[in-house]
Amino acid sequence: MYDYFRSSYDLGPHCTEIECQTKDIDDFGGGTMSQYWLDPAGHLYFIDYTGTQDYYFREDRDVLYHLPLMEIKPNGNKGKVTPCLITKYIEIYPSKLDISFTEIPTLRLNIKYGRLMEYDDITRYGRR
């Protein structure tokens, strides 16, 4: 599993305003399918959608026809955006790739107290 990362900070054409993935933000040995956003000023935020949807049993559920038993509907609540004050290096790469890539574009971000200090393109090292 991965964490999802989106940047409004200019990180180049392959990682700006594009859904990216990482396994480096949390300390659980891999991603938790959490969502993160880097704002235009380089501040990192955690996006939490907990409580924004309700689950209902479907009236037309039917195991024979493989209809889902539950239905998910937005309930009008808004998600929360909170600062993510980590200090570490994280690697990000696009979630979806153009078939023309021979190597996966990968960036290494230096985050200090939740703010991007610098980043490097490490694609040339053949990682991932």
Closest C-alpha among 80, 3, 75, 83 to residue 48? 80
Residue 64 is assigned to a structural domain of this protein? no
Residue 70 is assigned to a structural domain of this protein? no
Residue 68 is assigned to a structural domain of this protein? no
Residue 57 is assigned to a structural domain of this protein? no
pLDDT in tens, the chain (128 residues): 899 999 999 999 889 999 999 999 987 767 788 999 999 999 999 999 999 999 888 777 665 666 677 788 999 999 999 999 999 999 999 998 766 667 888 999 999 999 999 999 998 654 44
Q: Is 35 helix (H, G, I), strand (E, B) or coil?
A: strand
Instruction: Tell me the whole-structure pTM to 2 decimals.
Output: 0.79
CA distance 21 to 92: 6
Residue 26 is assigned to a structural domain of this protein? yes
Tally of domains in the chain: 1
Residue type, 20: C
Structural domain containing residue 42: 3-49+79-125
Residue 84 is assigned to a structural domain of this protein? yes
Output the six-digit token pair for 39: 């704002």
Could you give phi then psi for residue 83, rounded to 5 degrees?
Answer: -60, 140
